[in-house]
Homo-oligomer: A and B are copies of this chain.
């Protein structure tokens, strides 16, 4: 694996999931791999789980970790080519990426969508510029349109539950549901989860369904051929996994079209499922998107899912280290 920017960088998803589960069972078994290797974690945006879990995973593998908050520890970076740099950005990504690439064996980057210009966000400029100029493997720590370390953790979590619960159907039903929120949020997690679940569905591992209010359709490249059901209750019928997430509109880009509170997941919603599990990538605003009762019920997987971020990152870093 040379980069981990999206699902397209994964050659064997089953093996990667298994590698994550192996890391969870035996975290320090590959500690020799990272000796005298350094990962740089570059944050253009805030982070809790990604910051800590990736750092932890790298340390489990024996790596050194260097963290930098862009615009706080350092200055802003110019992303556009050919411009006269007479504004507030003191350094160009060409130099910054190339230089960081000389100090690090692997670079992780977090850079959210700005939600102003859809074409710009979906071009994934920051990731691609880093991948182009850094000359070392790049790991996506959540980009404008994707969050693949989260999606891998989600796959690991679903696989864990499936192995533990023999009563689950051979192809459990996984439902991605939009949740209400007052702020415009990126589509990254919804996009990525769809991309990865579509792959799992095509491999015959699950059945995948998307539900959201009209106007919240994800980009076709992510939604794929998954059935979209605008009636949330109908979508929840017989579901084994409910995956909640808010995102702003893709078609009316970055807009909040509705905050309809009936889309927030409560126990009433969960009761329509097949004793389904509830998943969310966190952070989650309690009682706005999901009720306390759901989050504090045994059906909630959100903490285990977050815990699995460590093993997701470790599986990816291990594969990259092996190929260095």
- Chain A residues close to B by CB (< 8 Å): 27-28, 36, 38, 40, 43, 46-49, 51-53, 55-56, 59-60, 64, 66, 68-69, 72-75, 78, 82-86, 90-92, 94-96, 98-100, 102-104, 182, 282-288, 292, 295-296, 302-303, 306-307, 310
Contacts and interface: CB of A to CB of B under 8 A. Distances in A.
Given A286-B85, A287-B84, A307 B75 contact: no
A100 B288 contact: no
A94 B71 CA distance: 30
A65 B250 CA distance: 40
B75 A310 contact: no
Contact of A53 (B82, B85, B103, B307): B103
B303 A98 contact: yes
A67 to B, nearest CB: 8
Contacts of A49: 99
B310 A102 contact: yes
Nearest to A62: B36
Contacts of A51: 68, 73-74
A74 B48 contact: yes
Contacts of A284: 91-92, 95
A292 B82 contact: yes
A16 B74 CA distance: 28
A310 B99 CA distance: 11
A284 B98 CA distance: 13
A90 B38 contact: no
Contacts of A94: 286, 295-296
Contact of A95 (B91, B303, B310): B303
Give the 10 A-B residue pairs with the shortest CB-CB distance, closest first. A91-B283, A85-B285, A102-B307, A48-B74, A99-B306, A84-B287, A52-B103, A98-B303, A90-B283, A59-B64
A199 to B, nearest CB: 26
A296 B81 CA distance: 12
